[in-house]
Amino acid sequence: MKPRRKKKSKHHNLFREEFASSATSLEIIEIQELGVKAEGKAIRSNGEICYVPNTLPGETVQAEFSPTGARITKIIKKSPNRIQPFCSHFLGCGGCSAQHMSINYYTKWKIGIIEKAMKTRGLKTTVKDLIDAHGAGRRRVTFHGNKNKTGISAGFMGAKTNDILNIENCPVLSPNLETAINVSKDIIRMMPISNKSLDVLLTQTSTGIDCNIDGIQNSGQQFFSEISEITYKYDLARVTVERETIIETRSPIICAGDSKIVLPPKSFLQPTKSGEEILIELVLRNTEGAKNVLDLYCGIGPFTLAIAKQTSVFSFDNDAMAINALTKAANNTLGLKPIKAEKRNLKVNPLLPYELDMFDIIVLDPPRQGAFEQIKQILLSKVNNIIYVSCNPISFARDASILIEGGFNLEPINPIDQFKFTSHVELLALFKR
């Protein structure tokens, strides 16, 4: 009897399947450190610095080098900080990049992303313990898809490619989004054959899944009939195309304390409910006792509505639909202090010092590029307290350096892990002068 071969793990096979390609070269390298994108840094035999995804410091690996980058093909020496990824799509998916790290190593690495960004600007700072804000999982996801003669593809973009990786499920999503991939596949399946892809954004709300579709070439009567069938099949709250409502069975509601916000299509939303609640708690803690608060880049207003329980708030955002949703929610919520919300592009038209001087504290939650233009005006104002919420440590560090140079002191930073298993990290920081 022949000896039974040891069964290889699903993840081992995935190494071979995902990375088997027309390699330009194979090389054995030693990983020296981990970059901010969870890629191991190494030096090749020719002296070139390279970055290899899914590796850890101290590991010796065989890597495949091509014009698109490096890919691990074999682990020769494994790090003690390596663990088995829980998702079978991990190696090929461009979503998560850090499922292979032990929790202690992962936590230190996430904090280190903030510390490194600040150090690059020559700033010394203290970063508190990482707050796990994953909660029940992410409440929003965008699936990419296309349809050609061979069939349909639906899922995420592959790691460092524009190819769509088909998936059956995503374990980092909220259980309420377990049908999301099937919704996306049905929508893609009804589309005409095309080389172009479309994006299906699905958001968990209190009243059901909200769906927005981008990239549709033809949305005539046939489309409406078919999308109606999908809407009722999956009990969707609303379907929009390019932010225009096609069918709505009920308003998609986001609850913020006692307030109910009708979510505008594609409006900004914190990725997890837990993350939003943690951020609100920290904002409230640091605005207690203030008489007038300014909420900049307010979005649909979760901070504004929470703060208005204790003091008046003036809010600005560039998204007119978000401002309208905030205003309606405020008008329908009892017991709030005065709220005034206006549309304003703070990048091209930041609030000027004389407009800022009346406020005790400013809450900033800018997009990834930061609040550079507004920060310069704040320095010229009489405002002495800033709460800065950021999803990008690099732009935050730039803005922090300007504020510190202008006389503000930075208190210890709160790191918040909403995008768990990725290289993204949220933070909240308090500046005082």
Q: Would you name the residues annotated as active-site residues?
A: 391
User: How many other C-beta atoms can be found within 10 angstroms of the C-beta atom of residue 274?
Assistant: 20
DSSP letter string, 172-238? TB-GGGTTHHHHHHHHHHTSPPEEEEEEEEEEEETTEEEEEEE--S--SHHHHHHHHHHHHHTT-SE
Is 257:306 a contact under the CB 8 Å cutoff? Answer: yes
Chain-centroid distance of CA 51 in Å reads: 23
Is 139:204 a contact under the CB 8 Å cutoff? Answer: yes
Q: Taking the alpha carbons of 264, 267, 270, 276 in that order, is the dihedral positive or negative?
A: negative
Nearest CA-CA partner of 364 in 378, 343, 381: 378
Q: What residues are paired with 70 via a beta bridge?
A: 65
Residue 163, CB half-sphere, CA atoms under 13 Å: how many?
11
d(CA 101, CA 401): 31
d(CA 276, CA 254): 11
